[in-house]
Chains A and B, each alone.
Chain A
Amino acid sequence: KQEVTQIPAALSVPEGENLVLNCSFTDSAIYNLQWFRQDPGKGLTSLLLIQSSQREQTSGRLNASLDKSSGRSTLYIAASQPGDSATYLCAVRNSGYSTLTFGKGTMLLVSP
């Protein structure tokens, strides 16, 4: 059964820092991996989707990489801002299934 782990569970940084969030998964047979952002009491907003054949995706200050063979993905946030404060979730789409397995998230706090 697929397991997704996110490290660290929480992260606090001053504004302007570049930071990396990590996601690892146990079964490398995946279709894709998606990064989400969740604000307190709110739904999930999709940030980036990486297909299994891709190595990375970029959107603005965000860059996500995928190393499928080693079961790892990273989300890089450049020049962090207080508005980036949220919980970041990664989720993998498992091959052969239509299920999505989520990590428990990294809670990010960016201080002014």
Chain B
Amino acid sequence: DGGITQSPKYLFRKEGQNVTLSCEQNLNHDAMYWYRQDPGQGLRLIYYSQIVNDFQKGDIAEGYSVSREKKESFPLTVTSAQKNPTAFYLCASSIRGQVYEQYFGPGTRLTVT
């Protein structure tokens, strides 16, 4: 089955700790994205990558970092510098240049206390 996987589904961390969220896709897509979703708000773009070894900041990149060493993988690190890290994090992918046809993973719910 082709698709996007995110792990873990739920993640709990103490304040001050960095945490890395996994995103893997086997759709052979060049472009991958990370979004954050908070209650009552639309998805907000954190980082995106159009190709391996290249990525750009989205609207709310502060306190986050990413890497894109493989086409299939786009991990997101939530650092201790992120002021409000508790949220639902969604990874997506698309054919490069077809941002209008993104496919999403199941999401990771991160809770930081």
Partners in one complex: no
Q: Which residues of A come within 8 Å of B, CB atoms? A: none
